[in-house]
């Protein structure tokens, strides 16, 4: 995608306001990311020589020593800002319709989902495909266990631990260990 197209999409999705989700340019960006992720995952599954650079090129910013295991899926990619020494476990799904910032030295387990997006709460707006997106920020030295769900508008502080099976819908303080649904 061209930079001006990405900027136009970000001007809609990254404002924290309702917008129409089936916009033509948004659909185009989404399909590009899905196609790139499918090709990457298919190559891993078939044990082909896979070029991770292809999927990493979707990212807004990406540090060094970032590992992306199989079954990776992102909505756009250009809203992802990832630090150094980050591991994404198998079946990592990220709906990056707003900014997602992941610090350095972060481990993300298997079957984790991060979701910046929520459909409109008002029934008519929801039926007409209006959505609202809010950012997710993950600090440095964070451990996220398997089967964790992280919702929009959350900040996970440095050195935090999110235990397996947790649902994070509120901020997690630095050095805090949380678990459960909701995580606390």
72-109 per-position pLDDT tens digit: 999 999 999 999 999 999 999 999 999 999 999 999 99
Reported as a single tens digit per residue, the pLDDT across 98-150 is 999 999 999 999 999 999 999 999 999 999 999 999 999 999 999 999 999 99
In a domain, 38, yes or no: yes
H helix or E strand, kind and range, residue 130? strand 130-133
Residue 60's domain spans which residues?
3-178
Which residues does the annotation mark as catalytic? 119
Cα torsion through 158, 159, 162, 164, rounded to 10? 140
In a domain, 184, yes or no: no
Give yes or no for a contact between 60 and 78, defined as CB atoms under 8 angstroms apart: yes
The domain that holds 157 is classified in CATH as 2.160.10.10
- Give the span between the Cα atoms of 55 and 39, in whole angstroms: 9
In a domain, 95, yes or no: yes
Count of domains observed in the chain: 1
């Amino acid at each position: 995608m061209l930079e001006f197209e990405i900027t136009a999409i970000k001007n809609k999705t990254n404002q924290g306001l309702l917008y129409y989700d089936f916009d033509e340019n948004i659909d185009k960006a989404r399909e590009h990311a899905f196609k790139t992720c499918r090709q990457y995952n298919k190559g891993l599954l078939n044990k082909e020589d896979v070029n991770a650079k292809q999927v990493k090129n979707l990212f807004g910013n990406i540090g060094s020593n970032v590992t992306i295991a199989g079954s990776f899926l992102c909505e756009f990619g250009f809203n992802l800002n990832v630090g150094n020494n980050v591991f994404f476990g198998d079946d990592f799904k990220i709906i990056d319709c707003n900014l997602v910032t992941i610090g350095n030295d972060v481990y993300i387990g298997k079957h984790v989902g991060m979701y910046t997006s929520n459909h409109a709460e008002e029934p008519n707006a929801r039926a007409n495909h209006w959505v609202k997106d809010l950012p997710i920020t993950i600090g440095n030295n964070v451990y996220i266990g398997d089967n964790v769900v992280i919702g929009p508008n959350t900040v996970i502080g440095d050195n935090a631990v999110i235990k397996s099976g947790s649902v994070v819908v509120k901020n997690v303080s630095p050095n805090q260990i949380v678990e459960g649904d909701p995580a606390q």
